[in-house]
């Protein structure tokens, strides 16, 4: 019997219950959230709506719109509301299982006779949870175990009981995967299921090792994190999960796991943790907590800050229970330090203090996994899936073991006189994951070892399309340094970026341009294209670092181009060489045409993407971040790609923004215009030349507010169209995007290029006034978040673009005006000033907007005094330079009037892919980019360039322009 889940009841509005409700609401599912206590559910919803996305306590993942999907109440008064729920999840923590059993019985009286029941606990097995119930109930019951916080943690463990109806399991799996977007892993009905059982052993093993170690918790956290693919060190993780939860799980394991379980041997007792909880150290997830293993330093209840204004953090001494100012560990950024060992095996064999500490912990944890995998999971892949999705490990334990080297690990155990677990013996020194001849005879498949020692291909959920699998089995249709085009079947091609962080460079533009031609000329063999990648970021935009090389060359900053490599002698020598061949001068001369060419190329290729005679579907994966460093960004040039797609299929947690203004330029790869177009087209938008402009200026002028923090938010802020698709499961984005191409392909016609009627300087003046007012207020209240004198210049340039520019010259009419050209040309030539003031009677074409974008960008980029320090800062530090307002602040007018405005040569942007000389230039620049990277053994990171070769590359690019 197929089961449809439309409405869900959640019992208990604690951390997990309210989090699950938020997840359901975010997915657009109706929820009834009931708690035992009056007002508790309301408070939980309110808290989540108000919380900021970055708020560790509440992980605000819900907008007020989402909250409308949640109906709240109490189990005493509102049980009736569960009457039409298809699935009822219980999330209560009770000391006595009977309370839970009684509640189930109460709810059954009201619930639909075929309603599915589940519990979120991992503390009782499914069998234990239903002892008192009849067989009918047992057939509709399973455990559904979410991880905290449910809206962002990817794992959902599902555990069936002996009597559970397979249709019920199927319904939960489908719903969890497709509607909630979770990685669903079915576990065996054992204590703790997979993820907590393994994860908690690891944490406990760390505690055990700390007893014999001189290391502080900062050292343990530094060593045992990114270097081994763990997102956080163990103590930070404990604080994040919540120490009450940690206490609950580990003490339960201690009470329930059998005597011989290795966990019992390493258990360090309840005393320390219970004392912490008693003293109010509950971790970071409770608002009234004093902290956890780490805390904020306070005086009289107020946080104490260091000289840079950052709150001082203190770390707990495990032995004494005292807190002291946290020290930067010797092992800080250990993921970098460990590289010097050239391999995990050599690191562990080194006998260094870090390895002495890490080895027994990782060894015993892996042994525990090898010993218990078959007891907990249905296969090896499930164990790795669970740890990646549930604990955010970059590698599952078996993958980690492969990285250590199975043979080395086996030998090491033998050396230490430790008996090899049976599963390890079956591996016989060979990796658990191997690329083997595909079962269908085509290329290779990635396969994984099963418990019996045999290999089977990696399991993909039904309907999931994996680019990784396709790449393993085929050759790209097109490829160049930074991008490739793949055939993903059924006549759909997939454009993949492959540069570092998927930055956009001439190589990407080249592949994009060639892809458009290839598909257009394929005689219908290819029906359309998806733009997708499996990277952490969809794309962080234009490769600023690449441009910066030329900036440094122009500035003669050779020491900056080759950081850390040049002593003074070398730097002087290079300067001499550069001077001898005129490179620095050439760089300075060539920089303007070079940057202009690059801007024009981006505009042309992006526009051609939208104008192509086939559908292009952008597919940012939007996977939930595992840390601040792994937020999936589609920003700058990456965002502009999506703005030019005919449709977008996005994963749920995609971040989108055009932050160009923060470095003193503006979105000029069509972004300013495309966003303005969306603002004009927004449903309910006011008529007139200014209302849409105000919205666009607010978003593009204030990237922090304009950025979309999720796909839902992106719809609200117009980065996505109202009818773009949000797919909750990131693994399904590619398949959905492909389906979208096929849906759009028949009779496809590209949307024509937009035209604009804009208010000119009268409208721009309003924006200038707004910004000036903010600047005046900021003079009294200086803060990095407030407008400063440099922003006045950037805003002025943006205002000019969004309002159509100041004037229209007669000679520009043919290039820039969409209708009544002759009359307008006459009016302009007859005007005493020789031009027309821009106003809404003139209908501008798309090329006009591109011209304004290029002029504005170039004006900004070559505002060297202010913009270049910003660019250098961003490339070096990743953030944005915020200049303090000077002692004697200049007036806004002074800042505006001193900009040297550039007008670039007129060039039309037609919507056709680049051809002829333009295409040759693009190819040459792409080759040069590729060479740039290759010479230095790096993909997309020109920070570490070989001096002389770099100079030569620069020379060759210069010649080209």
Partner 1 sequence: MSTKKEATNYSVIVGYCRTAFAKTSMAGSGKAPGVFGDVDPVDMQVPLVNELLDRSGVDPKDVKKILTGAVHQEYTQGLNIARLIAMHKDCKLENSTGGTTLDRFCGSSMEAIAMADGFIARNPNHVYICTGVQSMSQVPMGGINPHLADGVMEGNAAAFMDMPTTAENLRKMYNISSEEMSSFAAESHRRLKAAQENGHFKNEIVSLKGLDLDDGGRFDTTTESLESLRAKKPGAFAAATSSQITDGASAVMVTSEAFAADNNLPVLARIISFGESGLAPEIMGLGPVEAAKDALQKAGLSMDDMDVIELNEAFAAQSLAVLKEWDKQGMGIDPAKVNVDGGAISMGHPLGASGARIVGHVAEVLQRENKRYGLATMCIGGGQGVAMIVENPNAAPKPGM
The span from the CA of 882 to the CA of 787, in Å, is 9
CB nearer to partner 1: give 751 or 780: 780
CB of 714 to partner 1, least distance (A): 15
CB nearer to partner 1: give 135 or 897: 897
Binding window for partner 1 (CB under 8 A); candidates: 31-39, 573-581, 776-784, 865-873: 776-784
CA distances to 763, 858, 958 from 757, in Å:
12, 24, 39
Binding window for partner 1 (CB under 8 A); candidates: 99-107, 312-320, 410-418, 767-775: 767-775
- Is 689 a binding residue for partner 1 by CB under 8 A? The answer is yes
The span from the CA of 592 to the CA of 864, in Å, is 12
Intra-chain end-to-end CA distance of the chain, in Å: 68
CB of 674 to partner 1, least distance (A): 22
Interacting residue with partner 1 among 78, 256, 337, 765 (CB under 8 A): 765
CB of 153 to partner 1, least distance (A): 30
Contacts of 400-403 with C-beta under 8 Å, sequence gap 24+, read: 400/228, 400/229, 400/362, 400/366, 401/366, 401/432, 402/431, 402/432, 402/433, 403/344
CB nearer to partner 1: give 64 or 304: 64
How is residue 340 annotated by DSSP?
A: G
Interacting residue with partner 1 among 776, 826, 894, 903 (CB under 8 A): 776
Contacts of 254-259 with C-beta under 8 Å, sequence gap 24+, read: 256/191, 257/191
Chain Cα centroid distance, residue 620 = 9
CB of 723 to partner 1, least distance (A): 21
CB of 699 to partner 1, least distance (A): 12
User: What are 30's strand-pairing partners?
Assistant: 7
The span from the CA of 357 to the CA of 206, in Å, is 9
The span from the CA of 59 to the CA of 694, in Å, is 31
CB 363 within 8 A of CB 415: no
CB of 695 to partner 1, least distance (A): 8
- Is 768 a binding residue for partner 1 by CB under 8 A? The answer is yes
- Is 782 a binding residue for partner 1 by CB under 8 A? The answer is no
Structure tokens at 941: 């990171």
CB of 722 to partner 1, least distance (A): 16
Binding window for partner 1 (CB under 8 A); candidates: 173-181, 301-309, 457-465, 773-781: 773-781
CB 148 within 8 A of CB 93: no
CB of 457 to partner 1, least distance (A): 49
CB of 666 to partner 1, least distance (A): 21
- Is 688 a binding residue for partner 1 by CB under 8 A? The answer is yes
Residues 6+ apart with CB under 8 A from 122: 143, 145, 157, 192, 193, 196, 249
- Is 901 a binding residue for partner 1 by CB under 8 A? The answer is no
- Is 759 a binding residue for partner 1 by CB under 8 A? The answer is yes
CB nearer to partner 1: give 747 or 780: 780
- Is 632 a binding residue for partner 1 by CB under 8 A? The answer is no
CA distances to 149, 395, 507, 509 from 669, in Å:
37, 37, 15, 11
CB of 765 to partner 1, least distance (A): 4
Q: What b-and-e string marks burial along 521-535, b requiring 16 or more CB atoms within 10 Å of the CB?
A: eeeeebbbbbbbbeb
Q: Give the phi and the psi of residue 553 in degrees, each rounded to 5.
A: -60, -45
CB of 690 to partner 1, least distance (A): 4
- Is 151 a binding residue for partner 1 by CB under 8 A? The answer is no
* Residues in the chain, overall count: 961
- Is 702 a binding residue for partner 1 by CB under 8 A? The answer is no
CB nearer to partner 1: give 543 or 699: 699
The span from the CA of 829 to the CA of 809, in Å, is 8
User: What are 158's strand-pairing partners?
Assistant: 144, 186
Binding window for partner 1 (CB under 8 A); candidates: 344-352, 498-506, 597-605, 764-772: 764-772
How is residue 731 annotated by DSSP?
A: G
- Is 679 a binding residue for partner 1 by CB under 8 A? The answer is no
Q: How many residues bind partner 1, per CB under 8 A?
A: 19
CB nearer to partner 1: give 181 or 759: 759
Instruction: Name the residue among 170, 165, 120 with its Cα closest to residue 144.
Output: 120
Q: Give the phi and the psi of residue 647 in degrees, each rounded to 5.
A: -155, 160
- Is 769 a binding residue for partner 1 by CB under 8 A? The answer is yes
Instruction: Find the angle CA(757)-CA(763)-CA(767) to the nearest 5 degrees.
Output: 135
Site for partner 1 in 23-42 (CB under 8 A): none
Binding window for partner 1 (CB under 8 A); candidates: 208-216, 314-322, 687-695, 873-881: 687-695
- Is 762 a binding residue for partner 1 by CB under 8 A? The answer is yes
CB of 693 to partner 1, least distance (A): 9
Interacting residue with partner 1 among 115, 639, 690, 925 (CB under 8 A): 690
- Is 704 a binding residue for partner 1 by CB under 8 A? The answer is no
Coil, helix or strand at residue 63: coil
Binding window for partner 1 (CB under 8 A); candidates: 315-323, 720-728, 759-767, 789-797: 759-767
- Is 697 a binding residue for partner 1 by CB under 8 A? The answer is no
CB 776 within 8 A of CB 761: no
CB of 650 to partner 1, least distance (A): 22
Structure tokens at 177: 């995967």
How is residue 61 annotated by DSSP?
A: -
Instruction: Name the residue among 228, 246, 227, 251 with its Cα closest to residue 236.
Output: 246
CB nearer to partner 1: give 287 or 691: 691
- Is 159 a binding residue for partner 1 by CB under 8 A? The answer is no
CB nearer to partner 1: give 763 or 936: 763
- Is 691 a binding residue for partner 1 by CB under 8 A? The answer is yes
- Is 766 a binding residue for partner 1 by CB under 8 A? The answer is yes
- Is 319 a binding residue for partner 1 by CB under 8 A? The answer is no
How is residue 305 annotated by DSSP?
A: B
Question: What stretch of H or E contains 159?
Answer: strand 155-160
- Is 699 a binding residue for partner 1 by CB under 8 A? The answer is no
- Is 874 a binding residue for partner 1 by CB under 8 A? The answer is no
Residues 6+ apart with CB under 8 A from 459: 379, 381
CB of 818 to partner 1, least distance (A): 21
**DSSP structure string for 470-521:** HHHH---SEEETTEEEEE-STTEEEEEE-SGGGEE-HHHHHHHHHHHHHHHT
Structure tokens at 839: 């106003």
CB nearer to partner 1: give 493 or 895: 895
- Is 303 a binding residue for partner 1 by CB under 8 A? The answer is no
- Is 831 a binding residue for partner 1 by CB under 8 A? The answer is no
How is residue 288 annotated by DSSP?
A: T
- Is 593 a binding residue for partner 1 by CB under 8 A? The answer is no
Binding window for partner 1 (CB under 8 A); candidates: 222-230, 398-406, 635-643, 689-697: 689-697
Binding window for partner 1 (CB under 8 A); candidates: 47-55, 73-81, 110-118, 761-769: 761-769
CB nearer to partner 1: give 175 or 680: 680
Footprint of partner 1 (CB under 8 A): 686, 688-691, 694, 759, 761-763, 765-766, 768-769, 773, 776-777, 780-781
């Amino acid at each position: 019997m197929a089961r449809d889940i439309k409405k869900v009841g959640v019992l208990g509005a604690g951390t997990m219950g309210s989090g699950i409700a938020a997840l359901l609401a975010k997915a657009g599912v109706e929820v009834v959230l009931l708690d035992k206590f009056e007002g508790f559910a309301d408070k939980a919803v309110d808290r989540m709506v108000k919380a900021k996305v970055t708020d560790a306590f509440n992980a605000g993942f819900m907008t007020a719109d989402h909250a409308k999907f949640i109906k709240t109440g109490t189990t005493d008064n509102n049980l009736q509301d569960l009457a039409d729920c298809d699935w009822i999840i219980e999330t209560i923590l009770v000391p006595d299982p009977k309370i839970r059993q009684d509640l189930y019985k109460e709810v059954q009286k009201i619930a639909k006779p075929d309603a599915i029941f589940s519990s979120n606990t991992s503390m009782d097995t499914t069998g234990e949870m239903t002892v008192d119930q009849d067989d009918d109930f047992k057939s509709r019951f399973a455990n559904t175990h979410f991880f905290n916080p449910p809206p962002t943690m990817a794992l959902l463990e599902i555990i069936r009981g002996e009597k559970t109806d397979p249709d019920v399991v199927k319904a939960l799996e489908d719903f969890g995967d497709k509607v909630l977007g979770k990685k669903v892993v079915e576990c065996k009905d054992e204590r703790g299921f997979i993820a907590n059982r393994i994860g908690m052993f690891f944490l406990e093993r760390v505690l055990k090792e700390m007893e014999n170690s001189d290391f502080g918790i900062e050292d343990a956290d530094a060593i045992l994190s990114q270097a081994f693919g763990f997102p956080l060190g163990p103590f930070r993780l404990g604080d994040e999960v919540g120490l009450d939860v940690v206490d609950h799980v580990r003490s339960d394991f201690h009470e329930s796991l059998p005597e011989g379980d290795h966990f019992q041997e390493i258990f360090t007792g309840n005393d320390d943790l219970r004392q912490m909880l008693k003293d109010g150290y509950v971790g970071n997830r409770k608002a009234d907590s004093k902290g956890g293993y780490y805390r904020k330093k306070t005086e009289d209840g107020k946080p104490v800050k260091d000289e840079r204004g950052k709150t001082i953090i203190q770390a707990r001494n495990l032995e004494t229970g005292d807190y002291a100012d946290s020290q930067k560990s010797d092992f800080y950024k250990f993921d970098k330090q460990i590289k010097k060992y050239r391999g995990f095996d050599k690191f562990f064999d080194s006998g260094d203090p870090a390895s002495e500490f890490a080895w027994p912990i990782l060894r015993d944890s892996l042994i525990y996994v090898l010993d218990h995998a078959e007891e907990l999971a249905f296969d090896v892949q499930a164990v790795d899936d669970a740890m990646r999705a549930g604990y955010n490990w970059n590698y599952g334990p078996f993958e980690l073991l492969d990285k250590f080297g199975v043979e080395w690990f086996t030998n090491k155990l033998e050396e230490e006189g430790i008996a090899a677990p049976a599963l390890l013996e079956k591996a016989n020194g060979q990796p658990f994951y191997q690329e083997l001849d595909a079962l269908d005879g085509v290329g290779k498949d990635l396969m994984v070892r099963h418990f019996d020692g045999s290999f089977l291909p990696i399991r993909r959920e039904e309907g999931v399309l994996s680019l990784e699998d396709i790449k393993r089995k085929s050759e790209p249709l097109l490829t160049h340094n930074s991008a490739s085009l793949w055939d993903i079947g059924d006549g759909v091609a997939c454009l993949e970026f492959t540069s570092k962080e998927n930055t956009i460079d001439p190589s990407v533009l080249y592949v994009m341009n060639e892809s458009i031609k290839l598909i257009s000329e394929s005689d219908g063999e290819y029906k359309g294209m998806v733009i997708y990648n499996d990277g952490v970021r969809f794309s962080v935009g234009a490769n600023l670092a690449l441009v910066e090389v030329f900036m440094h060359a122009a500035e003669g900053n050779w020491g900056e181009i080759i950081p850390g490599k040049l002593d003074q002698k070398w730097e002087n020598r290079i300067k001499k060489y550069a001077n001898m061949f005129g490179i620095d001068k050439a760089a300075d001369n060539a920089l303007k045409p070079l940057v202009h060419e690059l801007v024009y190329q981006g505009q042309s290729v992006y526009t051609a993407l939208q104008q192509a005679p086939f559908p292009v579907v952008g597919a940012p994966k939007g996977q939930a971040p595992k840390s601040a460093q792994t937020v999936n960004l589609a920003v700058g040039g990456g965002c502009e790609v999506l703005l030019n797609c005919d449709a977008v299929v996005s994963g749920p947690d995609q971040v989108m923004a055009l932050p160009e203004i923060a470095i003193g330029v503006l979105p000029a790869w069509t972004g300013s215009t495309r966003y303005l177009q969306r603002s004009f087209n927004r449903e309910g938008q006011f008529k007139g030349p200014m209302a849409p402009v105000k919205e666009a200026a607010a978003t593009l002028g204030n990237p922090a507010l304009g950025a979309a923090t999720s796909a839902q938010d992106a719809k609200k802020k117009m980065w996505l169209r109202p009818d773009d698709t949000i797919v909750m499961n990131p693994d399904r984005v590619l398949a959905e995007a492909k389906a979208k191409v096929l849906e759009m392909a028949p009779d496809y016609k590209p949307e024509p290029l937009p035209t604009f009627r804009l208010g000119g300087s009268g409208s721009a003046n309003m924006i200038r006034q707004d910004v000036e007012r903010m600047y005046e207020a900021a003079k009294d209240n200086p803060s990095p978040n407030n407008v400063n004198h440099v922003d006045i210049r950037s805003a002025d340039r943006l205002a000019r673009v969004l309002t159509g520019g100041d004037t229209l010259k007669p000679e520009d009419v043919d290039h820039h005006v969409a209708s009544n050209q002759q009359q307008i040309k006459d009016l302009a030539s007859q005007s005493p000033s020789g031009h027309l003031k821009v106003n809404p009677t003139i209908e501008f074409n798309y090329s006009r907007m591109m011209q304004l974008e290029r002029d504005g960008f170039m004006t900004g980029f070559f505002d060297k005094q202010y913009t270049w320090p910003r660019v250098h800062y961003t490339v070096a530090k990743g953030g944005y330079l915020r200049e303090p307002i000077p002692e004697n602040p200049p007036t806004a007018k002074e800042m505006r009037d001193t900009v040297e405005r550039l007008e670039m040569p007129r060039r039309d942007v037609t919507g056709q892919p680049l051809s002829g000389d333009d295409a040759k230039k693009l190819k040459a620049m792409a080759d040069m980019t590729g060479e740039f990277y290759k010479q230095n053994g790096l993909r997309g990171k020109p920070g570490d360039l070989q001096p002389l070769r770099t100079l030569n590359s620069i020379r060759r690019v210069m010649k080209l322009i």
